[in-house]
Structure formats: C-alpha cells, structure tokens
A and B are shown apart, each in its own frame.
Chain A
Amino acid sequence: MNLEQTLEESRSLHARARAMIHAFEGGEPPESFDSLATDLARFQAAHVPGYARLCAARRISLAAIARAGDAPAVPSDAFKLARVFAFDEASVTFRTSGTTSGPRGQHWIRDLGTYDAGALAFGRAMLMADLSRAPVLVLGPSPEDAPDSSLTHMCALFAREFDRDQDRTFFVRAGPMDVSGLRDRIGHLSPRWPALVLATSFALVHLLDGLGGDVLPLPEGSRVMQTGGYKGRSREVAADELRRAVARAFAVEERYVASEYGMTELSSQFYEATIARPDAKPGVFVEPPWARVVPVDGATLEPVRDGEVGIARIEDLANVDSAFAVLTQDRVRRVPGGFELLGRMPGAPPRGCSLALEELLAPDPAQ
C-alpha cells in the first residue's frame, strides 16, 4: 500500500472518529464503538510494525475480531521504546514529562483535528457545562514554553475556544508561578463571568503554599480543573484535602473542583463529573462515548469483574494513527457512574536482591 492509500485510510478513520465525537454533541452515534475500534486495530497493525509484532506474539488475528477488547493493547512503555505511529512524519509530537524516570515517551499525531474535537466536546461538557464562555486561567506554561506538552496544548485549546478575551492566560513563566500576576488578573475579572482555572496538582500546591492561607476569590460559579500527579515537584496532598484547600482558596464550591485524568499517549481525557452533575461523586471519573477504561487482570489481561481492581486498559477511538488501545500501569476499579483511579501499580515485592525496574530507572542520586 502506498503512502497516499494509507493517508486516505487514515483520513477516513479520522472522519469516523470525529463523527462519533460530533454525535456526542447531538445526534445518534453513526456506528458502534466496536466497529470503529476493530477497524482502527486492523489499520494500526497494518502500518505500525510494533503492533503487528505484538498481535503476532499474542497469536491474535485481527481479521476476524468483532470486539474492541479482542485486540491487544499497546503497553504505555512502548511509547518510550519505538515509534507508535503509522507514518514517518507527524504534524505534532507530544512528549511525556520525563520527571519520573527513564526516557520520555513520545506520541506522534498526524491530524490534531480529532484530538481537538474530542478534547473540546468532552471538556465543554464536563467543565463548562452551563457556561458558554469563561475567562480561562492556566496555572501552567504557555505552548511557547512547553511546545511538546499535550496538557499545555489542551489548556491553550480551551483558552482559545472558551475565553472571549484571552487576556493573560498562562501564569507559569520559565519555572515559577506568577502569583502576583494571577492575583491581579483575578482582581480584574468581572463578577458576572465565572472563570475556569486549569492546573496541575503540584501547581495548585505551589499556589496554596505561596498564598500561605490567603485567598483569591473567583467570581461565583467559577470552576477548577486539576490534573496529574506530583512527580516529586511539590509536597503531596491527598485528593480530598487538595480539593477542600483549592475550593477554599478560590472561594468556590467543592464540587466545582474537578479532576481530569489524561495521558500523553492518549487523545481523550476523563473527568470527575461533579461540575456537570451535582449528584456525581468526587473520585469517580467518566469517559466520553469514544473512549473506554477497562480494568484488566495484569497477568492475563482479561477484564476483571465490576468492582474489582485491575490495571487500566484504555480504548481511545481518537488515537487513530498510533494505538487505539493502551495498557497503562494505573490501577482502576469500575463503580456505578464510571471508574475510580487508585494510583500506579506498585512493583512486585522483592523476593531477592534483583533490581526492580523503578530502581533501574530512578535518577542517579550522585548526579
């Protein structure tokens, strides 16, 4: 198959993925999840050599599969090892933060349109809900400062789409947070316009520490999206405690502080639904209709029963040209209304003096 044929196939799959996304904003899904997922699996096996090898090693013939779950998931570490991509050239490459250990993972994307459509559709539903416009304040770097961060891209996208004025959006410049700039910006917000704050957990902890008990009241109805782990960048604060502290600092209701769960290796995001649905439980994440989080047994990779803890196999129909199914090392549990995120899978308890992978990849303390 030549490049033009591959491109044509990719374009067609992107169009189908976007049709699923648009249906979420109004209308019936044009096809089933499994139908698009299995076609994505076949496309990726045909054009991503590593995925073809994985299918062969698992003795899975994709020609006959009818369910998304029948296709193997690509381990997230593969993004650190090989090109998980159907083409030679990407329009965008997102990279993992690399703050934990080892080499950085890379997610190549040919057509950002599908990523953007999905992020906007679900972000609007989960974060904006009753708002059409909102000033967006990002406690993170700008795309100029972090051009390879998928999170920064998403925040910039939300600012572009949701914020009428885009007056001073990013409050981390070259490292430290600009608390006085943030204070000044919040002081100039119209009380009639609720704001949307987008932040990593560690940025919020830095802000709270910087405020030292002081508050930065946002207009009524404002909301805060927090995301990501700490990765050693700040002291760690329990999720409930952080939620309470952030709600107090910004003078917003606790339910207006919602967590996002996303990964560089994915094109879709998951949210706590507390902003959109007052009855939603904090700590329970929901998926958009074009993505699924399936807890699987780590050894067999078979789905575990509802309510049991497994590692997250994430099926993301917006990952058209890379890996529609990604096997993470995050522990999750299905609960009514969505799934709970239970932290990273711990390494096996040692039964000898052999080195564990996390020890192997840890930064050298001598450097």
Chain B
Amino acid sequence: VKRTVADRIASVRGLLAASREVYAKRHSFGPELARTTGLSLMGVLLGFEALEREATDDELASLVAAAGDIARVHVVLSANVFTAALRAIALARAAAHFVSVRPSPRDPTLARALVAAARDPNIQIGEDREVGAIHPCEVHVYGRDRTIREIRGRVQPDVVVRGHGPGMGVAIVTRKEWKEQVIPLVRDVVMFDQRGCLSPRVLFVEGDEALGASVADLIHYELAFTHTTNPRGVLSAAERSEATYWSDKAAFAGQVFAGEGHAVCCTQDFSPVLVPPPGRHLLVVPVRSLESAFAALQPVARHIVAIGTDDPERVRPLAPGHARISELGRMQRPPLDGPVDRRSAL
C-alpha cells in the first residue's frame, strides 16, 4: 500500500486523538496503572502529563521522516514507562501500513487503551504473536539490551529489528539563579520515579563544593515536600536493596541528604559506580566548568539519552550528539518528532 507523507501524518494524528481520549479518562486508569507500574496514584497522574497529545506539523514531519516506509511493523513493549506506548505505536504507524503491538505483559493497560481508542483497523494488539513465527518487515523492541539481542536472534533472517534500549538522563545547572531550577528538576526526577530513560539521575552544578552541597540540600527539601503531595510509589524488594546499597556507598563517598522515599548525594567527583538506582535518588557533582562535566561523563556518554539544563546553548556543543537537550522540567516531554532515544539502533 503506497502512502503519502500526508497519509502517514494523518495516521499519527489519529493516534494523538486517541491519546487525548485516553488522557481524558486518565483517572479511571489510575488504580490499575498504580498496581502495574509501582507508581503511586498521584505518580500515575503526573506520568500522564508526559503522554503526547499534541504535535506540530513540523514535528510530525520529522517523526515520519525518521520512521522509514515499510509495509508491516510489530512493536514489542517490554520495559518502558507506561506512556511510552503512544510514541512507539506512532512511530510504527508512521512507518507502516499495518502495525501489531505486543504490550508489556506486566503493564499492558495503556497500550491496549490507546489501540482501542484509535479505532484504526491497521493497528492491532498481537499479544500472543511469537516474533520468530510472524513475518513483519520490522520489529521495534522497547526493552533491555538483552531482550533486544534475544529477539534479534529469533526473527526471520530478512526481518529488521530496531532496538530501543535503556538509558539515563543528566541534568546540568550553570547559572547563579540555580534555585529557580530546583522545582523543575525535581519534577523531572519524580516523574515515573526515575524509571524512564529520560529521567535525570545525575546533576552537575557549575560551582564549588559548597554550592553543590547547597543545591543538594535544597533538592532534598523539595523532594521531601513533593513526597507529601505526590508520594513515591512502592519499590520492589530488589529495588529497595539497590537503594540501600547506593545510599550507603554514597554516604561513604560524599554527603547524603536523605528523607522519606528519597536520597540526594553530593560528591566531589563523578564515578559511574555512584549513579543512583531508580526511585527518587540524585547524585549531585559540583564541577569547575561544563567541559569538566562532559569529560567526567565521557565513559557513560553512550548511555545518555537526555540532558536537561538551564543553559542549552552552552551545553549543546559539548553534549553527545544523540542526546536530547531541553530545559529542566521538560526532560520527560520531548516533542513527538521521532524516537525519544536518538542513539543508533543496537
């Protein structure tokens, strides 16, 4: 089936209409999503704010250009935040006339709801489809690197697998008016309890150690306040173990500001070993310059999906080319102009 760019944009617009419909009913999905995601009810509602519901023509033109043009796509949602289903299906629909979707078995609610609301006969739920047995042109996998490798090993030889693996976000604060950045930063941290690849887990602060500690302390205060209105969800036993282990090593390496459901650590030096686990944990590292921040990040640069900052213009030339750069408070809401993760496919 030959589709024009306009046809493909129209298909995505149909999905955005479905997204608005689902968003309008978000309260009804809250309890089930809270159960499946581990977020609190308020956390689910905050997460819904990241669900794409609008896009400009330019953004959709970029999305369509990035999607390719093929006949069929099978989407495997394995490990992703719940709102990621919209962009994944939109990318697939922009690319293909026919799309089948296998929702995450653990967290299928939103994918099913979006497909139902779209009422698009060319988007179907294909939960029981074994990727080795079906024959789409492409399989889009959203999950761990291991899952992507495993699926790549199971598909037919002529099937292309596009992997969207895990990643992390980094925040950078450079200006004297740093206090203004704390609330937007905390919003980025709290959204999805850092389980997304856009979530900031490290903050670099241009300044000295005392400034780093002051920033960490204010973030701690803001996280404590946020907990009263939007409590963190329930961590699994393994997640709690990781949090305890991180908190103790962070305390050994630097200064920890901990409260109910969160911890912020300020250290003099960045080490990949100190990157905190998901939850509401942040590593704050004071740096003399932006250049030294990116030098420290170099060993993990390939994992950075998003950078939130108060000075995008200074950050952009130094940042990894694949990273999305945004203002703080908008890290989790990139425009619908392509995959959130701009790294090359695995």
12 interchain pairs (CB within 8 A)? A53-B256, A103-B271, A327-B245, A329-B245, A347-B238, A350-B144, A352-B79, A353-B341, A354-B168, A357-B242, A357-B273, A360-B275
Cβ contact within 8 Å between A58 and B251: yes
Cβ contact within 8 Å between A354 and B237: no
**Distance in angstroms between the alpha carbons of A298 and B240 in the assembled complex:** 7
Cβ contact within 8 Å between A353 and B81: yes
Distance to closest chain B CB from A263 (angstroms): 16
Verify if A345 is at the interface (C-beta below 8 Å from B).
Answer: yes
- On chain A, the residues within 8 Å of B194 by CB distance are 354
Q: How large is the interface on A (under 10, 10 to 19, 20 to 34, 35 or more residues)?
A: 35 or more
The residue that B144 contacts in the complex, of A51, A359, A360, with Cβ under 8 A, is: A359
**Distance in angstroms between the alpha carbons of A72 and B244 in the assembled complex:** 12
Cβ contact within 8 Å between B166 and A51: no
Cβ contact within 8 Å between B241 and A311: yes
Cβ contact within 8 Å between B258 and A364: no
- On chain B, the residues within 8 Å of A349 by CB distance are 236, 238
Verify if B195 is at the interface (C-beta below 8 Å from A).
Answer: yes
**Distance in angstroms between the alpha carbons of A353 and B258 in the assembled complex:** 25
- On chain B, the residues within 8 Å of A311 by CB distance are 241
Cβ contact within 8 Å between A301 and B244: yes
**Distance in angstroms between the alpha carbons of A354 and B279 in the assembled complex:** 10
- A interface with B by C-beta (< 8 Å): 50-51, 53-54, 56-58, 72-75, 77-78, 80-82, 84, 102-103, 297-301, 311, 327, 329, 345-357, 359-361, 364, 366
Cβ contact within 8 Å between A103 and B166: no
- On chain A, the residues within 8 Å of B241 by CB distance are 297-299, 311, 345, 348
- On chain B, the residues within 8 Å of A357 by CB distance are 242, 273, 275, 277
- On chain A, the residues within 8 Å of B273 by CB distance are 77, 80-81, 102-103, 357, 361
- On chain A, the residues within 8 Å of B274 by CB distance are 81
Distance to closest chain A CB from B80 (angstroms): 5
Question: A-B pairs with the 8 shortest C-beta distances?
Answer: A298-B241, A352-B195, A348-B238, A299-B240, A57-B251, A50-B252, A350-B79, A353-B197
**Distance in angstroms between the alpha carbons of A53 and B275 in the assembled complex:** 19
**Distance in angstroms between the alpha carbons of A352 and B249 in the assembled complex:** 24
The residue that B252 contacts in the complex, of A82, A351, A361, with Cβ under 8 A, is: A82
- On chain A, the residues within 8 Å of B84 by CB distance are 353
Determine the residue in chain A with the shortest Cβ distance to B39: A351
Distance to closest chain A CB from B170 (angstroms): 11
**Distance in angstroms between the alpha carbons of A53 and B248 in the assembled complex:** 9
Verify if B184 is at the interface (C-beta below 8 Å from A).
Answer: no
The residue that B168 contacts in the complex, of A57, A74, A360, with Cβ under 8 A, is: A360
Cβ contact within 8 Å between B249 and A81: yes
Q: How large is the interface on B (under 10, 10 to 19, 20 to 34, 35 or more residues)?
A: 35 or more
Cβ contact within 8 Å between B37 and A351: yes
Cβ contact within 8 Å between B248 and A327: yes
Cβ contact within 8 Å between A351 and B253: no
**Distance in angstroms between the alpha carbons of A77 and B166 in the assembled complex:** 23
**Distance in angstroms between the alpha carbons of A81 and B272 in the assembled complex:** 10
Distance to closest chain B CB from A80 (angstroms): 5
Determine the residue in chain A with the shortest Cβ distance to B144: A350
- On chain A, the residues within 8 Å of B277 by CB distance are 348, 356-357
Verify if B303 is at the interface (C-beta below 8 Å from A).
Answer: yes
Q: Interface majority SS on A: helix, strand, loop or mixed?
A: loop
Cβ contact within 8 Å between A355 and B167: yes
- On chain A, the residues within 8 Å of B199 by CB distance are 354
Of B38, B79, B249, most buried by chain A (CB within 10 Å of CB) is B249
**Distance in angstroms between the alpha carbons of A225 and B247 in the assembled complex:** 36
4 new A-B contacts, CB < 8 A, other than A352-B195, A354-B166, A354-B168, are A73-B248, A81-B271, A353-B143, A359-B303
**Distance in angstroms between the alpha carbons of A77 and B249 in the assembled complex:** 7
**Contacts A352-B195, A353-B81; is A53 near B168 (CB within 8 Å)?**
no
Of A81, A345, A351, most buried by chain B (CB within 10 Å of CB) is A351
**Distance in angstroms between the alpha carbons of A80 and B81 in the assembled complex:** 32
- Interface residues in B248-277 (C-beta closer than 8 Å to A): 248-249, 251-256, 258, 271-275, 277
- Interface residues in B280-307 (C-beta closer than 8 Å to A): 300, 302-303
Q: Mark B130-164, 1 if CB is under 8 A from A, else 0.
A: 00000000000011110000000000000000001
Determine the residue in chain A with the shortest Cβ distance to B233: A351
**Distance in angstroms between the alpha carbons of A352 and B341 in the assembled complex:** 14
Verify if B196 is at the interface (C-beta below 8 Å from A).
Answer: yes
**Distance in angstroms between the alpha carbons of A299 and B273 in the assembled complex:** 19
**Distance in angstroms between the alpha carbons of A81 and B248 in the assembled complex:** 12
Verify if B192 is at the interface (C-beta below 8 Å from A).
Answer: yes
- Interface residues in B35-82 (C-beta closer than 8 Å to A): 37-38, 79-81
Verify if B243 is at the interface (C-beta below 8 Å from A).
Answer: yes
**Distance in angstroms between the alpha carbons of A80 and B270 in the assembled complex:** 12
Cβ contact within 8 Å between B300 and A354: no
- On chain B, the residues within 8 Å of A346 by CB distance are 238
**Distance in angstroms between the alpha carbons of A37 and B264 in the assembled complex:** 30
Distance to closest chain B CB from A48 (angstroms): 9
Determine the residue in chain B with the shortest Cβ distance to A74: B252
Cβ contact within 8 Å between A347 and B242: yes
Verify if B7 is at the interface (C-beta below 8 Å from A).
Answer: no
Determine the residue in chain B with the shortest Cβ distance to A346: B238
- On chain A, the residues within 8 Å of B167 by CB distance are 353-355
Of B84, B165, B252, most buried by chain A (CB within 10 Å of CB) is B252
Cβ contact within 8 Å between A353 and B79: yes
- On chain A, the residues within 8 Å of B192 by CB distance are 352
Verify if B239 is at the interface (C-beta below 8 Å from A).
Answer: yes
Cβ contact within 8 Å between B244 and A299: yes
Distance to closest chain A CB from B29 (angstroms): 17
